[in-house]
Amino acid sequence: MFAGEIVEAEMGRIGIGGVAVYHKTGESFTEQAVEVVADAPCVQASMPLVLASGTVQLRNLCSTAGILGIDEHLKDVFQLEVCHGSLPNGTQVRSAAKIAVIDTDFAQKVYQRTNVVGKTLYLTVNGWTEALEICAVIRSQSSGVSMMLGGQLPYFVYLPYTTLQAMDPGLYTDKMIANIADAGRNVPELMDRLERVAPQTYAFENLNQYMDSFSVITEAIALLIGGIAAISVVVGGLGVMNAMISSLDARTREIGIYRALGATKRAIVKTFLWESLLQCLAGGVAGVLCSAVLMRLIRLVFSISIAFQPESVLVSFGISIFCGIIFGILPALRAARLDPIRAIRTE
């Protein structure tokens, strides 16, 4: 897997996607507007969203946190993997249940384990502190990206948006996140439906565009890495060729004796090509082993899952064989063309 693909995969784990719908005037969504978005034929899943920042305390750890007020459609809208417990349901959202969802990084940091369902955390928003029971633990979505960005992102806490609004009435539902099929064509239609029901000015932000832009960047990274790899292959091949030529100079008399004893030019060529192939294959094996060790270290240190693809190993060995043949031809032909008498007389 290329470095660009690794980064893109990590970004994908955050769940960036869908369309964010909001009022241009910053007003709150009415229940009617929420229903219009949810019931639109082009909308696969949607939920209101309340964003806030605050302080979270779990056991002896106190940290700033990004707080997301969500509803029962959280898993349908964001790409989340539930490790323990269950996400808030509709009844809990409507009753403003005092529950929260955290990720495995947060749980592991405090309790040295990931299953902390039932534990109590304290969330402070605008000076108001509330005790919340952890109802679910999701797989961390930010650890790998945080490491790649060179800093620690704040922890994220999910809770019913009604609970968050009860803690701070000044927070309101000013955004909706929706997964929309063929967003480029269907979003304008959704805006028209909204404006007919609630005569206000709406705007939207296609979050998929961020991933599209990021894909362009990762493709450029992949091309850059591919170019560096190609240069490395050429430099390595030239090194093998120089080593074979040096070997030829040191074994000139030996080659002359072989020719005098009846060795054909084809036999000499085969001998040198096999030596070149073995050198390049040894380099390929060393490269694969070093890559495996490096991938293991990345997995342990940065918590980034990297798949070791068998086809990549086969491609590596194929390139090694190709280099062995290409860069071994010149020394092999040069050795085969040596005059036996002059070669034997070489000191």
Average pLDDT on 184-194 reads: 71
Q: Is residue 215 part of a domain?
A: no
Domains identified in the chain, total number: 2
Residue 174 is part of which domain span? 18-206
Taking Cα atoms as reference points, which of 241, 285, 263, 266 lies closest to residue 343?
263
Same domain, yes or no, for 250 and 189? no
- Indicate if the pLDDT at residue 143 is higher than 60: no
pLDDT at 217: 66
The residue to which tokens 């070791």 are assigned:
308
Do 70 and 158 touch, CB atoms closer than 8 A? yes
Same domain, yes or no, for 250 and 285? yes
φ and ψ at residue 195, rounded to 5 degrees: -70, -25
Q: Is residue 8 part of a domain?
A: no
Last residue in a domain, options 146, 172, 206: 206
**β strands within the chain, DSSP E:** 19-23, 43-58, 61-70, 82-85, 99-103, 120-125, 128-138, 155-160, 175-180, 202-206
Last residue in a domain, options 206, 222, 243: 206
pLDDT at 148: 41
Average pLDDT on 12-27 reads: 64
276-299 confidence digits (pLDDT tens): 888 888 888 888 888 888 888 877
Q: Is residue 335 part of a domain?
A: yes
Same domain, yes or no, for 47 and 178? yes
Q: What is the DSSP string of 239-282?
A: HHHHHHHHHHHHTHHHHHHHHHTT--HHHHHHHHHHHHHHHHHH
Name every residue whose Cβ is closer than 8 Å to that of residue 190 and which is 6 or more positions away in sequence: 21, 37, 40, 42, 43, 178, 180, 204
Same domain, yes or no, for 332 and 188? no
Strand bridging mode 155-160 / 61-70? parallel
SS3 state of residue 171: coil
Name the token pair of 298.
């990345």
Strand bridging mode 202-206 / 155-160? unpaired
Kindly tell me the burial class for residue 310, based on how many C-beta atoms sit within 10 Å of its own C-beta (0-12, 13-18, 19 or more).
exposed
pLDDT at 129: 92
Average pLDDT on 234-262 reads: 83
Same domain, yes or no, for 167 and 240? no
Q: What is the average pLDDT value for the chain, to the nearest integer?
A: 79
Task: Tell me the range of 5-9, 46-50, 134-138 where mean pLDDT is highest.
Answer: 134-138
Do 56 and 155 touch, CB atoms closer than 8 A? yes
- Indicate if the pLDDT at residue 151 is higher than 50: no
Q: What is the DSSP string of 107-143?
A: HHHHHSSS--TT-EEEEEETTEEEEEEEEEEE--SSH
How much of the chain, in percent, has pLDDT values that exceed 70? Answer: 80
Last residue in a domain, options 172, 206, 240: 206
Same domain, yes or no, for 261 and 338? yes
Q: Is residue 2 part of a domain?
A: no
Same domain, yes or no, for 262 and 121? no
Average pLDDT on 204-225 reads: 66
Same domain, yes or no, for 39 and 179? yes
Q: Is residue 10 part of a domain?
A: no
- Indicate if the pLDDT at residue 204 is higher than 90: no
Name the token pair of 250.
């040191």
Same domain, yes or no, for 251 and 300? yes
Same domain, yes or no, for 171 and 236? no
φ and ψ at residue 339, rounded to 5 degrees: -75, 125
Q: Is residue 1 part of a domain?
A: no
pLDDT at 198: 64
Same domain, yes or no, for 42 and 127? yes
The pTM for the full model equals: 0.59
What is d(CA 123, CA 131) in angstroms, rounded to the nearest whole number? Answer: 7
* Chain center to CA of 309: 15
What is d(CA 221, CA 346) in angstroms, rounded to the nearest whole number? Answer: 52
pLDDT at 99: 96
What is d(CA 251, CA 247) in angstroms, rounded to the nearest whole number? Answer: 6
Q: Is residue 220 part of a domain?
A: no
Same domain, yes or no, for 194 and 240? no
Q: Is residue 218 part of a domain?
A: no
74-128 confidence digits (pLDDT tens): 888 877 889 999 999 999 999 999 999 998 988 998 999 999 999 999 999 988 8
